[in-house]
Amino acid sequence: MELPLILCMRKRKSPFEPRPIQEPLPHRGGLILLFGFLGFITAGILGAVAWIWANRDLALMNMGIMDERGIDKTVYGRILGIVSSLGWLLAILIYIAVKALSMDYTQ
């Protein structure tokens, strides 16, 4: 019994074939939002982390790689991260300026 030619042919994978549909990566919106809040307590360090992570996650969400259900939390966490980081930076610069202006150089 001979198999038809079509069944005997091996299918080659083309580099132009679409990839199989995969589940999107889970979002980290809740964690980014939490880090944005904690940025006000931790001198802006976790706020900067939230800012960086949110930028990356938003790019992945726009490309369709990450789950888009957490986009609201990610955006709010990014805003809180920016505000907390820049707020702490401004507070530190004001503290340094006040200390520098209050020094007595006449000795």
pTM across the whole model: 0.75
Residue 32 has, within 13 A of its CA and on its CB side, a CA count of 26
Token pair, residue 74, equals 């990610």
Task: Encode pLDDT of 24-40 as tens digits.
Answer: 899 999 999 999 999 99
Which residues are bridge partners to 25 per DSSP? Answer: 66
Confidence of residue 9 (pLDDT cuts 50, 70, 90): very low
End-to-end CA distance of the chain: 108
Length of the chain, in residues: 107
Q: Please state the domain extents for the chain.
A: 28-100
Is residue 23 over pLDDT 60?
A: yes
Model pLDDT for residues 50-93, shown as the tens digit of each residue: 999 999 999 999 988 999 999 999 999 999 999 999 999 999 99
